[in-house]
């Protein structure tokens, strides 16, 4: 039996409920949800939650990551500061599929104040069901990685 893919999840205070809904959902799909919180509603700072999730992916402890904040933007920018992380914000399913297929994204970000829960689940499904196509897209991802200093 192949090992279930480990998916790290994190958010700030703006997205706790949606994050927990997504964590439960991906478990039903057979993934292992590594939900690193937070779980209490006090205001917190998205950069530390984005970085914590990104480190788990960059280190290889988790295969992919799903992160959320109010817009999905701040936590995505924070995660992308970690070397080896390719994270995009998605508010529709086509981009969620294409960031895997063409950009080899290893993290997905969603804005809980932008995207409703049903669509968020569809976005997560599109991301997790897609695979990197490689080929010319691999050349481009390598070029992108070479920009990092
Ligand atoms: C928090 O109020 C909000 O700024 C944060 O969740 C996020 O939208 C930042 O990008």
* CA quadruple 8, 62, 60, 122: dihedral, nearest 10: -80
Active site residues: 69, 102
CATH code of the domain occupying 6-147: 3.40.1400.10
Q: Tokens for 85?
A: 């992380």
Half-sphere CA count of 104, side-chain side, radius 13 A: 16
Exposed / middle / buried, residue 60 (Cβ in 10 Å: 0-12, 13-18, 19+): exposed
Asked whether the predicted pLDDT for residue 128 surpasses 70, the reply is yes
Specify the pLDDT at position 1.
52
Asked whether the predicted pLDDT for residue 93 surpasses 80, the reply is yes
71 CA distance to ligand 1 middle (Å):
6
Asked whether the predicted pLDDT for residue 117 surpasses 90, the reply is yes
128 CA distance to ligand 1 middle (Å):
25
Residue whose Cα lies nearest atom 3 of ligand 1: it is 70
Q: What is the pLDDT of residues 11-59, one digit of tens each?
A: 999 999 999 999 999 999 999 999 999 999 999 999 999 999 999 999 9
Specify the pLDDT at position 142.
97
Residue whose Cα lies nearest atom 9 of ligand 1: it is 74
Find the helix or strand (DSSP H, E) in which 65 lies: strand 64-69
Asked whether the predicted pLDDT for residue 2 surpasses 70, the reply is no
Q: What is the pLDDT of residues 71-92, one digit of tens each?
A: 999 999 999 999 999 999 999 9
111 CA distance to ligand 1 middle (Å):
9
Q: What are the structural domain ranges in the chain?
A: 6-147
User: What would the mean pLDDT of 108-120 be, rounded to a whole number?
Assistant: 98
Whether pTM exceeds 0.95 = yes
Sign for the pseudo-dihedral over CA of 75, 55, 66, 41: negative
Task: Quickly state the pLDDT bin for 3 (edges 50, 70, 90).
Answer: confident
């Amino acid at each position: 039996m192949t090992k279930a893919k480990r998916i790290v999840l994190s958010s700030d205070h703006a997205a706790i409920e949606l994050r927990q809904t997504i964590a439960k959902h991906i478990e039903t799909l057979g993934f292992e949800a590594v939900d690193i919180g937070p779980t209490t509603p006090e205001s917190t700072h998205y950069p530390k939650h984005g970085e914590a999730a990104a480190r788990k992916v960059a280190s290889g402890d988790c295969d992919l990551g799903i992160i959320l904040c109010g817009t999905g933007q701040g936590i995505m920018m924070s995660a992308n500061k970690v070397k080896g992380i390719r994270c995009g914000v998605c508010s529709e399913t086509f981009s969620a599929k294409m960031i895997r297929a063409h950009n080899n994204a290893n993290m997905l970000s969603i804005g809980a104040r932008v995207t409703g829960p049903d669509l968020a689940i569809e976005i997560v499904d599109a991301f997790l069901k897609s695979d990197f196509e490689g080929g010319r897209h691999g050349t481009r991802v390598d070029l992108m990685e070479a920009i990092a200093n």
